[in-house]
Structure 1
Amino acid sequence: MGSTQKIAIVGAGLGGAAAATLLQQAGFDVDVYEQAPEFSRLGAGIHMGPNIMKIFRRMGIEKQLDLMGSHPEHWFSRCGETGDYLSRIPLTGYGASYITVHRGDLHALQMSTLKPGTLHFNKRLETLEETDTQVRLTFADGEVTYADIVIGADGINSKIREELLGVEKPLYSGWVAHRALIRGDQLAKYDLTFEDCIKWWTEDRHMMVYYTTGKRDEYYYVTGVPHPEWDFQGAFVDSSREEMFDAFKGCHPTVQALIESTDSVTKWPLRNRNPLPLWSRGRLVLLGDACHPMKPHMAQGAGMAIEDAAMLTRCLQETGISDYRTAFQLYEANRKERASRVQAVSNANTWLRTQEDPDWVYGYDLYAQPLKSGAAA
């Protein structure tokens, strides 16, 4: 591949960062443009299943992440009122770890794998102009750069998606997610069991809870609660223990103890989009939430973005940048069915509520899959 050929990635979240590292390791010239001025350790946890840890193995960060995260052996589902177990799903035996970790810690580790000088902050994309030979990117600070192909890893409000399909607001799902971090020592005062990875279910809402560090000094919960209308600006608003007690009234003492231990809690609207009619056009291609956003109820949204990054890298290695059209067809042909299935199951919020086999998700090895033809993509 020619060293003069350049890839621009818009968005340096988990999917964009993975794409940058994997493509750079494959020998491509890649720059990443992120609109945020910097990254901070935001208060959120995340699951990384064995299907994703195998990709991190290729990136060279699996062992560090293993040491950093918590290693639940089961995903427990329990009735929110009685505490009865609905399922006990083993998370081991898939050829890699299942970990839960703080999202900011994972992201910082990923950032450390990028080539120095290739991540650019404060780069809010203003316009794209595609010509026969390249794409011209103009940023809000006035900088102009050029690339042979552009990867849109810029989330549910993707500017690249907007370029492909026009302006369209994402759909509000009718649900919100409350998020909170609890210090591990806060839980010591209760004579209760706080399991490594557990989802508390009621008829119409849930609370997912897990440790975010290997030291088990941080416990995190995220909810899914019906909320008829989202009438606030911004990505989230502050919530409160009082609101949480009201949302989970009558729930098990462990759930009540978690709420009581909460210092601060935020509330986020859950938004999504219908499956997109196309994933690429010309020199532009999408991955992750820009392409197939989903509710977080399966804990695979970021995982699907990272799988996208790995598959897109495979396809570009197969064809080279010069034949990007074939690469993009291959990419969609090899990702759309799986990503769409995960999107549908996640949005339905049925994952592991009852005893089922999760092998089709966790047992998946992207690098062991033969590439399907892109002719039908």
Structure 2
Amino acid sequence: MSNGKEKIAIIGAGLGGTVAGALLQHAGFDVNVYEQAPSFSRLGAGIHMGPNVLKIFERIGIDKKVISISSTPSHWFSRDGITGEYTARVPLVGYGQTYCTVHRGDLQAIQCDALQPGTLHFGKKLARLDDSGTDVLIAFEDGTSVRADIVIGADGINSRVRETLLGEERPNYSGWVGHRALISSDKLKKYDLTFEDCVKWWGPDRHMMVYYTTARRDEYYYVTGVPHPAWEFDSAFVDSSRDEMAASFKGYHPIIQALIDSTDEVTKWPLFNRNPLPLWSKGRLVLLGDACHPMKPHMAQGAAMAIEDAAMLTRCLTETGITDFRSAFGLYEANRRDRATRVQNVSNANTFLLEQEDPAWVYGYDIYAEPLKSETAA
């Protein structure tokens, strides 16, 4: 068990990193979170938080706050992108918690507020890590440095912590891009069409996922998956356009055309992934989320897997104590690798809920109800 004096540094204050920090602090650990961005802003992106995640949010007391600002769809609808025919109507209730679709920025603000005051540090871009065997020196590009007993890399697909463990290696471009746009619901009122709470439109080689991002239902968000031969830009994303969207979805259902016609701003993002990593930890360093098992977003579970990682890592560190961090890291990987890999494979295949199926293995999962299996049993 923790004695309240251990120092843990988390690199990255994304959705996985902030939940890891809050969970570990609730367990009594001394935790600081370091984020390279100078601040967070409400960027235009939505996200799904399933019941499997809301069960974790309960542990840090933010589940009701998240539900209060979210849209809470009763079903996930899958429809043929051209004809509009329903291929699946999947209930999202009955899994022990609420299914939420929410603006990522609004969710992140709640998660950051769950951290103890003064423990989230912005403008801290990682320069290097030096694991001395007795602690870890963390040096930042602003010239400052800190020491920690262990370091958790929650810094995404381009993780600098992962590079320290495994060397530099560019992620693999998947051959797909995602377009993202937020639409004011007022712009949709002129259409004599039904805009459902949570629907995925499927085409032969592309799709569009659409949902509300607020409890007020005043923002409607779409994200696509569209083949794109090569990512020829240096930036993380580029501006797209209504014309490009119209060309990408020519001949698709009138609801899709209405969404495109109502789009003011749309961006285009490359979808990257990595091959499964040979290890998730080394010495005093350990990875979670996209830093160790990035996936295409087609299952809407990428952030959920990072948050589940955070919960399991906290369980394992609480079980062993930080002085036996090696056993904790081994337990963590033994209890997370199979599930994360399964979700990664299904998400990359882009088949989830295309047809009627039972998603209980995803949404009904309760990470706290699962007995810890030993590292040797993995």
Equivalent in the alignment of 2:356 = 355
- Output the amino acid matched with 1:74: H
Q: For this pair of structures, how many residues does the alignment match? A: 377
Question: What amino acid is the match of 2:229?
Answer: P
Partners of 2:37 and 2:299 lie apart in 1 by: 27
1:243 alignment partner in structure 2: 244
**2:74 matches 1:73:** yes
Give the partner amino acid of 1:154.
D
- Per the TM alignment, residue 376 of structure 1 is displaced from its structure 2 partner at its CA by 5.0
What's 1:224 paired with?
225
1:26 matched to which residue of 2? 27
Contact 2:133 / 2:284 at 8 angstroms: preserved in 1?
no
CA distance in 2, matches of 1:215, 1:171: 38
Spell out, residue by residue over 1:305-355, the C-alpha distance to the aligned partner (whole angstroms, 9 max, x if none): 000000000000000100000000000000000000000000000000001
The corresponding residue for 1:41 is: 42
Letter in 1 for 2:113: S
> Is 2:141 the partner of 1:140?
yes
- Per-residue CA deviations over 1:260-310 (Å, capped at 9, x if unaligned) read 000100000000001111000110000000010000000000000000000
Paired with 1:294 and 1:232, the residues of 2 have a C-alpha distance of 21
CA RMSD of aligned residues (A): 0.7
- The one-letter amino acid paired with 1:235 is A
Aligned 8 A contact 2:50 2:363 in 1: yes
Question: Which residue of structure 2 lines up, in the alignment, with residue 320 of structure 1?
Answer: 321
Q: Which amino acid aligns with 2:139?
A: T
Distance 1:320 1:296 in 2: 34
Query: Is the CA contact 2:138–2:145 (under 8 Å) kept in the aligned structure 1?
Result: yes
Give the structure 2 partner of residue 124 of structure 1: 125
**Is the Cα contact below 8 Å between 2:6 and 2:322 reproduced in 1?**
yes
1:230 partner letter: W
1:223 partner SS? strand
Report deviation, 1:183. 0.2
- Which residue of 2 is the match for residue 206 of structure 1? 207
Q: What amino acid is aligned across from residue 11 of structure 2 in structure 1?
A: V
Aligned residues with identical type, % of pairs: 71
C-alpha distance in 2 between matches for 1:314 and 1:169? 32
Aligned to 2:111: 110
CA distance in 2: counterparts of 1:158 and 1:132, whole angstroms: 21
Equivalent-residue separation in structure 1 for 2:65 and 2:116 (angstroms):
18
Q: Distance in 2 between matches of 1:198 and 1:309?
A: 29
For the residues of structure 2 that align with 1:23 and 1:285, how far apart are their CA atoms? 14
**Letter aligned with residue 220 of structure 2:** Y
CA distance in structure 2 between the partners assigned to 1:319 and 1:55 by the alignment: 20
- CA distance in structure 1 between the aligned counterparts of 2:6 and 2:91, rounded to whole angstroms: 45
What letter is aligned with 1:145?
V
Tell me which residue corresponds to 2:181.
Answer: 180
> After superposition, where does 1:284-363 map in structure 2 within 5 Å?
284-363=285-364
- Secondary structure of the structure 2 residue equivalent to 1:189: coil
Q: How far apart, CA to CA, are the structure 1 residues paired with 2:65 and 2:141?
A: 36
SS of 1:101 mapped into structure 2: strand
Match in the other structure for 2:171: 170
SS in 1 for 2:319: helix
Paired residues of 2:155 and 2:291 also in contact (CA < 8 A): yes
**Matching residue of 2:193:** 192
TM-score, normalised via structure 1 length: 0.99
Are 2:74 and 1:87 equivalent residues in the alignment? no
TM-superposed CA distance for 1:2, in Å, is: 3.6
Partner SS, residue 170 of structure 2: coil
CA distance, structure 1, for counterparts of residue 139 and residue 376 of structure 2: 33
The reply on whether 1:96 has 2:101 as its aligned counterpart is no
Shift of 1:210: 0.1
CA distance in 2, matches of 1:235, 1:151: 24
Over residues 96-133 of structure 1, what are the superposed CA-to-partner deviations in whole Å (9 max), with x where a residue is unaligned? 00010000000000011111110111101111111121
Runs of 4 or more consecutive aligned structure 1 residues displaced over 6 Å after TM superposition = none
Counterpart residue number, 2:65: 64
Per-residue CA shift, 1:127-169, capped at 9, x if unaligned? 1111121000100001110000000000000001001111000
